Amino acid sequence: MNELIYSLNIRPHHFLCILGFRGLGYSEKFVSNMEEVAKKLRSDFTSFITLVLECDAICAACSHNVEGKCLKSDVSEVEVAAMDTKCLQKLGFKAGDSVSADEVWKRVKERITLEDIKEICRDCEWWELKYCLEGLKKLKIS
């Protein structure tokens, strides 16, 4: 296992990012770690994860993560927290909940609408690619 996956703490909006992940990212190190986390969460539905509103197993390999804070921009900590909070509310979980990946994917499929993802992701630089919207659409018809 990649040494950077020190735990399966996951911030909620990252489930949407995993749906849209096609090998792009902030650096080779980031992409390699993202691949590994995404593979685990998409294939091992029995894995348990803890939902967090802070830097997680994906942020662990990100160059914008400085001492556990997302410093991508002056406002990124606030923006990312807002995305996570919206996802958490939609999914009906609380921060700190320990849940199976299977249950999270089930709720993403049932509860996050295409309108929701547009609203949650509107300020993200990757949104225009539409990979994440397409990923959610694909999950909904699976």
Residues 66-85 that bind ligand SF4 (CB under 6 A): 70, 72, 76, 80
Q: Is 87 in the site for ligand SF4 (CB under 6 A)?
A: no
Please select the residue that binds ligand SF4; options are 35, 126, 137, 139, rule is CB under 6 A: 126
Q: How far apart are CA 32 and CA 50, in angstroms?
A: 21
Please select the residue that binds ligand SF4; options are 64, 107, 109, 137, rule is CB under 6 A: 64
Q: Is 13 in the site for ligand SF4 (CB under 6 A)?
A: yes
Contacts of 95 (CB under 8 A, 6+ apart): 51, 52, 53, 88
Q: Which stretch binds ligand SF4 (CB under 6 A): 36-44, 52-60, 94-102, 103-111?
A: 52-60
Residue 70, SS3 per DSSP: strand
Please select the residue that binds ligand SF4; options are 81, 107, 127, 137, rule is CB under 6 A: 127
Q: How far apart are CA 61 and CA 32, in angstroms?
A: 9
Is residue 10 within 8 Å of residue 49, measured between CB atoms?
A: yes
Q: Is 121 in the site for ligand SF4 (CB under 6 A)?
A: yes
Which amino acid is located at 47 in the chain? S
- Minimum CB separation from ligand SF4 for residue 23, in Å? 13
Is residue 23 within 8 Å of residue 66, measured between CB atoms?
A: no
Q: Which token pair is 27?
A: 């650096």
Q: Is 90 in the site for ligand SF4 (CB under 6 A)?
A: no
Nearer to ligand SF4 among residue 46 and residue 93 (C-beta): 93
